[in-house]
Amino acid sequence: EVEKKCPKTVSCADILTAASRDATVIQGGPYWSIPYGRKDGKVSIDKEAESVPTAHRLYDYEGTGKPDSLLDERYANYLTRKCRWGSDYVELEGMSPGKFNNQYYKNLQKKMGLLRTDQMLYADSRTSPFVNAMAYAPDSVFHNQFAASMTKFGNILDPEVQEGGEVRADCGYVNSYDY
């Protein structure tokens, strides 16, 4: 619909950025300003978009024959049951779905990070103080820090994409060109 009204103007990157911010606000999170004008990349590799591997953490992590040691045993059992049931998804933070809060950090303290990369934030002595601070922060502090971080993140631009990028006509595909 956007492409019909404003052809080659609004990028998929801008749409995704705005949708992420608006979804956060709908869940009770903070609002932050977004710089528009990003370009979409001209390379799309479907293998890079496959589902995030989590099951390997449950059964034979790194050839040990055991679950990942950074995963709480009860949480690992819960995830194993979800896998057996063939569930379509597991919530990243299942304690308070539909709410934007700092429960994610509290879960990391309990070794209940769904993704190992997330759990490493608590396991690493360089970042665990931040996890602890956010776990106990009042909502206003957490919201302000989140908005500031997202603003910084939103200002990161890949020069290659900005220079040689495009505004896709269909977000699922790179534009086709006649050479």
Q: What's the alpha-carbon Rg for the chain, to the nearest Å?
A: 20
Return the ∠ at Cα 10 (arms to 28 and 14), rounded to 5°: 35
Q: Which residues contact 99 (CB under 8 A, 6 or more apart)?
A: 27, 28
Q: Which residues contact 60 (CB under 8 A, 6 or more apart)?
A: 66
Closest residue by Cα to residue 95 from 82, 86, 105: 105
Q: List the structure tokens of 154.
A: 């939103």
Q: How far apart are CA 80 and CA 59, in angstroms?
A: 9
DSSP class of residue 154 equals H
53 is in an annotated binding site: yes
Which residues contribute to the annotated binding site for substrate? Answer: 53
Binding residues: 53
